[in-house]
Amino acid sequence: MQTLTVDLGERSYPIHIGSNLLGDSQLIAEHIQGQQVMVVTNETVAPLYLEKCLSMLTGFRTETVILPDGEQYKNLDVLNNIYDALLTHHFDRRCTLIALGGGVVGDMTGFAAASYQRGVNFIQIPTTLLSQVDSSVGGKTGVNHPLGKNMIGAFHQPQCVIADTDTLMTLDDRQLSAGIAEVIKYGFINDLEFIGWLETNMDKLLQRDSSALSYAIKVSCQDKADIVAADEKEAGQRALLNLGHTFGHAIETGMGYGEWLHGEAIASGMVLAAELSEQLGWIDAEVVNRVRTLVASANLPTTAPKEMSAQQFIDLMAVDKKVIDGKLRLVLMDALGSSVIAEGVDQKIIERVLNRSLEAAA
């Protein structure tokens, strides 16, 4: 097992990464303050891992909420199931919520924990690659609104993150690739060396080689932990973690939640960001090719969805969380392995890039 720390002073917490961690009661017990523990999971993950998770919690008073599975259920209505269970079982302020599942379960459980009785503790047990490398770390929690992805939420850090890499063996290939999109993202943000490693080791990741997966998770979590420690609430550089997300969230909302997986939308969004950066003269075609090739090597999309229009993108991107005073801010690339936050990019150039990508997809 390897342990990293998200350094946030008194609210610092460990990220444990390794095999056979689910079931290790010692890892979790020190992070639970009261007796009441609510495990939140979904109908796919429950039959696979709930029993093992509950075996970590003998001695506590545990209850379980099983949510429907899918991005389309990441909303306020379904969130109510968690509050209902907490209230029905008289959970008090010292209770702990446990998120057992992927990023949807993690974001919803985190938001329930942030808001129940104005804030209770929670623990992340991420079971997808995407949630192990990204969503379980950093304290962004929330749900979608029909008009915008992740628009309702709060920052609320977990007590600890337990990433058991064995759980990745039951993920389907499409979900594994979606997780690799967020892994690649860290390379493009600020880690050129990691890009080189990914170019050499992509096959191992796709074949679920456990040491390659552990290494990729460790580097990703370390890269994210560093950024979160420096800018917890996204006053500045944390926005870099949204590389590909302005385009990607538009894809998720525009296509209908769940049609394109989050990681697929981010993959397409990162290629669009590279293409836009090239149009602005910040990177050359060779860099764009390396971006596109790495994304494609993970079996991820490299164009926008042909069902969408440039205008639909523009409209949806106007409700991005990075918009300030009506001005769109985008994360773009100024070199391979280096991303920057850009403001005031000419809308005509964005439309041109989108139209080219849509033509390539058609």
> Residue for token digits 């010292």?
94
Catalytic hit among 71, 234, 252, 278: 234
Q: Is 245 designated active site? A: yes
| 238 binds ligand GLY, rule: CB under 6 A | yes
Calpha distance 213→5 (Å, rounded): 19
Instruction: Give the chain's largest Cα–Cα span.
Output: 61
- Of residues 169 through 198, those in contact with ligand NAD by CB under 6 A are 170-171, 175, 178
* Window of 87-95, 165-173, 271-279, 319-327 that interacts with ligand NAD by CB under 6 A: 165-173
Tell me how crowded residue 232 is: count the other CB atoms within 10 A of its CB: 18
User: Judged by CB under 6 A, which of 66, 86, 98, 107 binds ligand NAD?
Assistant: 107
Taking alpha carbons only, the member of 69, 130, 71, 117 closest to residue 90 is 117
The alpha carbon of 250 is separated from its chain's Cα centroid by a whole number of angstroms, namely: 16
Of the ranges 114-122, 133-141, 208-216, 279-287, which one interacts with ligand GLY (CB under 6 A)? 133-141
Residue 224 is a catalytic residue: yes
Contact partner, 107, from ligand GLY, ligand NAD, none, Cβ < 5-8 Å per class: ligand NAD
AA letter at 30: E
Q: Please state whether beta strands 96-101 and 61-67 pair in parallel, antiparallel, or not at all (unpaired).
A: unpaired
User: Is 234 labeled as catalytic in the residue annotation?
Assistant: yes
User: Is residue 74 a contact residue for ligand GLY (CB under 6 A)?
Assistant: no
Cβ atoms < 10 Å from Cβ of 9: 7
Token pair, residue 265, equals: 């939308």
Question: For residues 249-308, which are near ligand NAD according to CB under 6 A?
Answer: 262-263
Adjacent-strand bridge partners of 211: none
3-state SS class at 130: helix
The Cβ-side half-sphere exposure at 9, using a 13 Å CA radius, reads 4
Q: Cβ distance 4 to 17 under 8 Å?
A: yes
Per-residue x/- track, 36-55, ligand NAD (CB under 6 A): ------x-xx--x-------
Choose between 157 and 175: whose C-beta lies nearer to ligand GLY. 157
From ligand NAD, ligand GLY, none, which one binds at residue 242 (CB under 5 to 8 Å depending on kind)? ligand GLY
Identify what 243 binds: ligand NAD, ligand GLY, none; CB under 5 to 8 Å per kind: none
Nearest alpha-carbon partner for 272 in 301, 240, 315, 297 = 301
Among 105, 108, 129, 140, binds ligand GLY (CB under 6 A): 140
Q: Are strands 13-18 and 161-164 parallel, antiparallel or unpaired?
A: parallel
Q: Does 107 bind ligand GLY (CB under 6 A)?
A: no
Which positions are catalytic?
A: 118, 140, 182, 224, 234, 238, 242, 245, 249, 262
**By the criterion CB under 6 A, which residues form the site for ligand NAD?**
42, 44-45, 48, 69, 71, 74, 101-105, 107, 127-128, 130-131, 134-135, 138, 140, 150, 167, 170-171, 175, 178, 262-263
**By the criterion CB under 6 A, which residues form the site for ligand GLY?**
134, 138, 140, 238, 241-242
